[in-house]
Amino acid sequence: MSDAMTPASRLQPVLGLLSLPGQMRRLGGGPMIAALVLVLIVIAAIFAPLYIPHDPLTINATQRLKGPSEMFPLGTDAFGRDLFSRVVMGARVSLFIGVGAAVVSVALGLAIGLVSGFFRLADAIIMRFMDALMAIPSILLAIALVALNGPSLWSVIAAITLPEIPRVVRLVRSVVLSVREEPYVEAAISLGSSMPKILWQHLMPNTLAPLTVQGTYICASAILTEAILSFLGAGVSTEIPTWGNIMAEGRVYFQIKPSLIFWPGLMLSLCILSINLLGDTARDLLDPRLRKREG
Amino acid sequence: MLGYILKRLLAVVPVIVFVAIFVFLLLRLTPGDPAAIIAGDAATPAQLEKIRASLGLSEPILVQFATWIGHLVRGDLGISLISNIPVTELIGQRIWPTINIALLTICLSVLIAVPMGVIAAWKHRTWADYAVMTFSVLGFSVPVFVIGYIFIQVFSIQLRWLPVQGYTAPGDDFGKFLSRAILPCLTLATIYVALIARMTRASMLEVLGEDFIRTARAKGVGETLVLFRHALRNAAVPILTIIGTGFALLISGVVVTESVFNIPGIGRLTVDAILARDYPVIQAMILLTSAIYVFINLMIDVAYSLIDPRIRY
Amino acid sequence: MLFKTKSFDDAPVVLSIEDLTVRLSGVNDTVRPVLDRISFQIRAGETVCLVGESGSGKSVTSLATMGLLPKGALEVSNGRIMLGETNLLSLSAGQMRDMRARNLSMVFQEPMTALNPVMRVGAQIEEVLDTHMRLSKKEKKARVLDIMEQVHLPDVERIYRSFPHQLSGGQRQRIMIAMALILEPKLLIADEPTTALDVTTQRQILSLIAELQEKHGTAVLFITHDMGVVAEIADTVQVMKHGELVERAPVETLLRNPQEDYTKSLLRAVPSLTPRPERVSKPPKGGPALSVEDLNKTYGSSGWFVNRSTTLAARDVSFDIPAGRTLGIVGESGSGKSTVARCIMRLIDPTEGSVRVAGTEIARLSRADLRPHRKHIQIVFQDPFRSLNPRWTVGRSLVEGPLNLGQDKASAMARARELMALVGLPEDAVDRYPHQFSGGQRQRIAIARAIAMEPDVLVADEAVSALDVSVQAQVLDLLDELQQKLGIAILFITHDLRVAAQICDEVIVMQKGRVVEHGKAGAVLADPQHPYTRSLIEAAPGRAWDFANFRELGALAAQ
């Protein structure tokens, strides 16, 4: 019955329209600032080689642990390398890892999730395997993988991506399972559409909005995980400056020179905060019901 | 009820089996000679031979697996390649600091996060809600070790309220335990609180829109009772779920926090083992933490059925 | 038809609503209000029915009275709501809470969701007592059991300890009523309390409300869209449209002699229980378009560890439908009528039996082999809001099937435009998205999508149940018209006897998975043989009244 809906839900479309400007206002400056910060970080990272004052790898024994000066805007680290140049160059690696992990895990998770959601036989096996993968704490799995495969950039990305896949699979699968009960999917079956076609044309588009949101969160968490891996000494080789590496090397000098952890930590937090905020905004705008599927 | 628990228990078996297979294959499927990977580049042939022998690497892979599983079932997790101490003994020595810190953190987090989430949902779209959400996004975004260092910098170095690092067992000196555990716990709790508060808020918001909440209000029930008697209990299942799955985050946090605060727990043990490629210890730790994770989520599954009568079947 | 005729002129006024205006929150005065200066009174013992189609504001009226308007969405901008001498709108939140359940109560539409699923129902009734008075544990339980007896719940000690999911819909609604009436309020607001229930349960709940009203002298504000229910229970009827009161009259006056055009059109749209006249022309020669034989569907098989009992969802169902004819399957929820439809569509697989569509046996075909035969049989679902892909234009939905059959896109699209005209929509509708259409229009689109396949059989699974009566009548007319033009056979699944009477040539009555009666619509509805069919017909509210002609049924014959 159309009357079966509560008055509130019947008014929903109207209210939705009315509150749209209000919603934008409520979103307020936060997401705008977040987007701005992120764009700045990305631009700074892309063009870093053009403007950094020093080579981030050049060791200078005479300039160890110096404070900020005209020559070294943020001071130097224990090897006399310029902190500013290192932090800026570190952004490149961190962002690359974040985006790489998000893209790979979303793509693989989407494929596996679609199959799992539609084919019962495959589903039972795939989901047990995913449960097992979820049960292994992601950091332990990642450090074990890096420790065994060597500290290359690709092995770090793979190590960060693998534990994220089950979460994407579960998300895609839950969307598929709920949408395949929709009458319009049953109508498509009745119209003689083939399973692959239904899967791709009717079901897959429903996963895009939640996947965009999930991808954003994965990007943020990948950057964070990279930092933790490096911090624990199981990250990208120390020859490459990453935010995690800089902080890991700064640990020892933490009590004398906290800025070695402060600056990369600040950049890292700002970057992740912006990505997370944008993810939240995307979620609110794309589909308020997504809250249900969180976790 | 008993049937339900039995069913959940049976569902856990394949997960544990998959984890075991996965952990076993982790080393064997890595390209190259596993012994060489473990020993590092500068290993002598004698060292390699010793590693091969102790891991049984020269046997066919199925035999290796059978032997390994056989030992595993008897509770034999092998012997550390570095310290030559049985792994079970190593873990026994190091597990208590971790358990104490983790339990304290979980209690602290739930006590802080659930009321935060309830208030945020109740005062939806007011400053209280925004404050909780802001804290929650921040909690997700600042790395655990940065939070740890900020706490040390502020409370230990600047204010000198608390010791910088270290650990005392609660049995030895409870006051000292608390003063040394409080910063690691707060550090660990940040992300956990963020996670639980966020889920509590989302789940409460959903339940507060349900018909039976309107019924309760139509009966004249006061807001506090509506929130806690009617809404929270119905919102509890997703909250419990996130406490369970968030446990994986807690384990990651423990690994980092123990390094930052110099606590001799199994987190440190794991990191040291991984850096030294002490393979039996790595295997054991992954198995142990996964088993704990699975067990905790099993307990939570059982808890569902206590909370929601519809799940009892 | 016996209407209530009691006069309430001498009874004290219980509720008096004066100039009540409700607006969307945060909207200025130029936007049309949701409720526009509503005024009416209800006297002690009186039942006032508020009727109207969806969006008329009848539920908003009830929520405003209870002080339960959704916060931040709707607000009262003007008027008074007087309960006795108290203006409810001037009370504080705490004072208003105190009034609820004690002086005014409400029963909601959805008994399945209106009770807290994790609390025992006894405790939920007791909560009313805890909130408003202090009683010893023993007294409390005694009072709860007493009111549970009064609402005729069986085995009250057991139900007292039950959780809502262990009870049937009717029992849950009785619990709601017990909760609402335990403190003997002066006013009971019932918002579509029987809409989600089967007719036989509806009848019991209606008589329960009447009985308790009589006993306690409660004033009842009854909100409904169903004119049959109105005829059964109302003393006074108020018709609402777009937030305004259109007409108010004693029930018999309103049904016999409606003044306003809107009221008349509402009444005319109520389908009659008198079956349509039998068609004289013979159905075309050739075999039946759809032939079902001994169809069985069992759910649930033995698991690995526990032997679950199996449910027989459909048992030995057999029927034929000739081309150009309509067969209705009528039954309450759980009767298996939708299971039969889904088995025939092969959305689920029948356990046993044969389904022949256009001469081909499809019950055993594999999914892939089945696809070319899908064209012959199409389905229209109940929920117009979910049966079209919201991301696709109407045109894309319409050509999906023809493209599967290998038709080229241009000609399929041209055909889609023709189909729009055929179902009474503008041709450019193909370029728009489903959310730009109303429920009735979407249902037309869904019908067009099915017709695009040029099927021999159309299955309509509660296809008009979600629509307002006036729209319902239009969609039924459309189906009839299409059938005459295209000669399709229609399998019409419905819970509504009135709808079945209007469209079906033959009727099957199902109960608990079994066919209990099968025959010509006229025979089954006018002279039911099976006791279950008889009980269904007797439970149909207002069955002795011919709403569309404003008089008793059979009055024409008597003249």
The answer to whether A135 faces chain C, any CB pair under 8 Å, is no
Looking at domain A103-290, its CATH superfamily turns out to be MetI-like (1.10.3720.10)
Q: Is the Cβ pair A273, B125 closer than 8 Å?
A: no
| pLDDT band (50, 70, 90) for residue A23 | very low
Partners of residue C188 in chain B, C-beta under 8 Å: none
Is B196 domain-assigned? yes
Strand (E) or helix (H) holding C37: strand C35-43
Token reading at A240: 């490459």
Is C481 domain-assigned? yes
Q: Does one domain contain both C9 and C68? A: yes
Backbone angles phi, psi at C554, to 5 degrees: 85, -5
Compute the distance between CA of residue C525 and CA of residue C517 in angstroms, rounded to an integer: 10
Q: Does one domain contain both B106 and B253? A: yes
Q: Which of B231, B40, B201 is nearest to B120 (CA)?
A: B201
**8 Å CB contact between A109 and A168:** yes
**8 Å CB contact between C547 and C272:** yes
**8 Å CB contact between C319 and C508:** yes
pLDDT value, residue C343: 94
pLDDT in tens, B45-89: 877 777 777 777 777 778 888 888 888 888 888 888 778 889 889
Partners of residue A7 in chain C, C-beta under 8 Å: 59-60, 63, 70, 74
Q: Which of C446, C448, C384, C400 is nearest to C421 (CA)?
A: C448
Q: Is the Cβ pair A191, C374 closer than 8 Å?
A: yes
> Helical H runs in chain A?
7-27, 29-46, 48-51, 83-118, 120-135, 138-149, 153-179, 183-190, 195-197, 204-231, 243-250, 259-286
Q: Which of A181, A187, A177, A183 is nearest to A207 (CA)?
A: A177
Is B49 domain-assigned? yes
| pLDDT band (50, 70, 90) for residue A287 | low
The answer to whether residue A295 scores a pLDDT higher than 60 is no
Compute the distance between CA of residue C181 and CA of residue C187 in angstroms, rounded to an integer: 9
| 38-97 of C, contacting B, C-beta below 8 A | 66, 68, 72, 97
C-beta contacts of A56-63 below 8 A and 24+ residues apart? A56/A81, A56/A82, A56/A85, A56/A86, A56/A88, A56/A89, A56/A241, A57/A81, A57/A239, A57/A241
Q: Does one domain contain both C468 and C366? A: yes
Compute the distance between CA of residue C324 and CA of residue A175 in angstroms, rounded to an integer: 40
Compute the distance between CA of residue B243 and CA of residue B246 in angstroms, rounded to an integer: 5
Q: For residue B249, what is the domain's CATH number?
A: 1.10.3720.10
pLDDT value, residue C279: 83
Question: Is the sign of the CA dihedral B21, B27, B31, B35 positive or negative?
Answer: negative
Question: Is the sign of the CA dihedral A237, A243, A246, A252 positive or negative?
Answer: negative
pLDDT value, residue B187: 92
pLDDT value, residue A28: 60
Q: Is the Cβ pair B218, C101 closer than 8 Å?
A: yes
> 3-state class of C543 per DSSP?
coil
Backbone angles phi, psi at C210, to 5 degrees: -60, -40
Q: Is the Cβ pair C386, A182 closer than 8 Å?
A: yes
pLDDT in tens, A237-286: 877 888 888 888 887 777 777 788 888 888 888 999 899 888 888 877 77
How many domains in chain B? 2
> Which residues form the domain of C60?
1-95+187-196+218-273
Number of Cβ atoms within 10 Å of the Cβ of B128? 15
**8 Å CB contact between B310 and C163:** yes
Strands C236-241 vs C47-51: parallel, antiparallel or unpaired: parallel
The answer to whether A6 faces chain B, any CB pair under 8 Å, is yes
Q: Does one domain contain both C486 and C411? A: yes
Q: Is the Cβ pair C68, B218 closer than 8 Å?
A: yes
Compute the distance between CA of residue B147 and CA of residue B186 in angstroms, rounded to an integer: 9
Average pLDDT of chain C, as a whole number: 91
Q: Does one domain contain both B195 and B265? A: yes
Q: Does one domain contain both B246 and B272? A: yes
**8 Å CB contact between C377 and C456:** yes
Distances (CA, A) of C173 to A2, C112, C127, C448: 20, 8, 17, 39
Partners of residue B230 in chain C, C-beta under 8 Å: 116, 119
**8 Å CB contact between C541 and C224:** no
Give the CA angle between residues C428, C433, C438 to the nearest 5°. 90
Q: Which of C45, C191, C202 is nearest to C107 (CA)?
A: C191
Partners of residue B125 in chain C, C-beta under 8 Å: 72
Compute the distance between CA of residue C533 and CA of residue B186 in angstroms, rounded to an integer: 69
Nearest to A269 among B17, B142, B294 (CB): B142
Q: Does one domain contain both B34 and B91? A: no
pLDDT value, residue A27: 53
Chain B nearest CA to C125, separation (Å): 9
Backbone angles phi, psi at C85, to 5 degrees: -100, 0
The answer to whether C466 faces chain A, any CB pair under 8 Å, is yes
pLDDT value, residue C108: 92
**pLDDT tens-digit profile, chain B (313 residues):** 677 788 888 888 888 888 888 888 877 776 666 677 777 766 778 777 777 777 777 777 788 888 888 888 888 888 887 788 898 898 998 899 999 899 999 999 999 999 999 999 998 888 988 899 889 888 888 888 888 888 888 888 888 888 877 787 878 888 888 888 889 999 999 989 999 999 999 899 989 989 999 999 999 999 999 999 999 999 998 899 888 888 878 888 888 899 888 888 988 888 888 778 788 888 888 888 888 888 888 888 888 888 888 876 5
pLDDT in tens, A41-55: 898 888 878 777 777
Partners of residue A2 in chain C, C-beta under 8 Å: 54, 439, 466-468
**8 Å CB contact between B257 and B267:** yes
Q: Is C401 exposed, middle or buried (0-12, 13-18, 19+ CB in 10 A)?
A: buried
pLDDT value, residue B166: 77
pLDDT value, residue C557: 47
**Residue written as token pair 């919102």:** B235
Chain C nearest CA to A103, separation (Å): 24
Of the candidates B42, B73, B104, which is a domain's last residue? B73
Mutation for A interface: B10, B21, B137, most A CBs within 10 A: B137
Partners of residue A279 in chain B, C-beta under 8 Å: none
The answer to whether A121 faces chain C, any CB pair under 8 Å, is no
The answer to whether A9 faces chain C, any CB pair under 8 Å, is no
What number of C-beta contacts closer than 8 Å exist between B and C? 73
- Of the candidate ranges C185-199, C241-255, C305-319, C452-466, the one whose mean pLDDT is the lowest: C305-319
pLDDT value, residue A288: 47
The answer to whether residue C398 scores a pLDDT higher than 90 is yes
Q: Does one domain contain both B92 and B68? A: no
Nearest to C381 among A5, A8, A183 (CB): A183
User: Residue B209: closest CA among chain C residues belongs to which residue?
Assistant: C70
Q: Does one domain contain both C269 and C325? A: no
> Which residues form the domain of B34?
2-73
- Report residue B270 CA to chain centroid gap: 14
Compute the distance between CA of residue C256 and CA of residue C548 in angstroms, rounded to an integer: 10
Partners of residue A295 in chain B, C-beta under 8 Å: 199, 238, 241-242, 245
The mean pLDDT of C248-259, rounded to a whole number, is: 94
Is B82 domain-assigned? no
Q: Which chains touch B (3 or more CB pairs under 8 A)?
A: A, C
The answer to whether B218 faces chain C, any CB pair under 8 Å, is yes
Partners of residue B216 in chain C, C-beta under 8 Å: 116, 127
Q: Does one domain contain both B258 and B113? A: yes
The mean pLDDT of C311-335, rounded to a whole number, is: 92
Token reading at C274: 């008198």
Partners of residue C117 in chain B, C-beta under 8 Å: 212, 234, 308-310
Q: Which of C256, C101, C274, C107 is nearest to C195 (CA)?
A: C107
DSSP state of B229: I
List b or e across C373-388, with b for residues whose CB sees 16 or more CB atoms inside 10 angstroms. bbbbbbbbbbbbbbbb
pLDDT value, residue C42: 95
Partners of C494 in beta bridges: C330
Q: Does one domain contain both C298 and C259? A: no
Q: Which of C177, C221, C211 is nearest to C197 (CA)?
A: C177
Q: Which of A208, A125, A128 is nearest to A168 (CA)?
A: A208
Q: For residue C326, what is the domain's CATH number?
A: 3.40.50.300
The answer to whether residue A4 scores a pLDDT higher than 80 is no
pLDDT in tens, B121-151: 998 888 988 899 889 888 888 888 888 888 8
- Give A19 or A126, the one with higher predicted confidence: A126
Is B80 domain-assigned? no
The mean pLDDT of C67-91, rounded to a whole number, is: 91
Q: Does one domain contain both C260 and C295? A: no
pLDDT in tens, C460-519: 999 999 898 889 999 999 999 999 999 999 999 999 999 999 999 999 999 999 999 999
Number of Cβ atoms within 10 Å of the Cβ of C301? 9
pLDDT value, residue B32: 65
Token reading at C299: 């759910």
Distances (CA, A) of B220 to B235, C16, C63, C93: 21, 21, 14, 10
Nearest to C131 among B211, B220, B308 (CB): B220
The answer to whether C448 faces chain A, any CB pair under 8 Å, is no
Quote the pTM value: 0.84
Q: Pseudo-torsion of CA A41, A43, A44, A48, nearest 10°?
A: 140
| pLDDT band (50, 70, 90) for residue A16 | very low
ipTM of the complex: 0.85
How many domains in chain C? 2
**8 Å CB contact between B194 and B140:** yes
Chain B nearest CA to C17, separation (Å): 19
Q: Does one domain contain both B35 and B91? A: no
pLDDT value, residue A9: 36
Compute the distance between CA of residue A179 and CA of residue A177 in angstroms, rounded to an integer: 6
The answer to whether B221 faces chain C, any CB pair under 8 Å, is yes
pLDDT in tens, A165-189: 999 999 999 889 888 889 999 999 9
Sheet of strand C352-357: strand arrangement: C360-361, C352-357, C290-299, C311-321, C514-520, C506-511, C326-330, C489-494, C457-461, C377-380
Percent of chain B that is helix, strand, coil (3-state, to 5): 80, 0, 20
Q: Which of B151, B145, B146, B147 is nearest to B163 (CA)?
A: B151
Q: Is the Cβ pair C73, A15 closer than 8 Å?
A: yes
Q: Does one domain contain both B9 and B67? A: yes
Of the candidates B73, B97, B124, which is a domain's last residue? B73
pLDDT value, residue A203: 92
The answer to whether residue C199 scores a pLDDT higher than 80 is yes
Q: Which residues contact C204 (CB under 8 A, 6 or more apart)?
A: C170
Token reading at B191: 């992300």
The answer to whether residue A294 scores a pLDDT higher than 50 is no
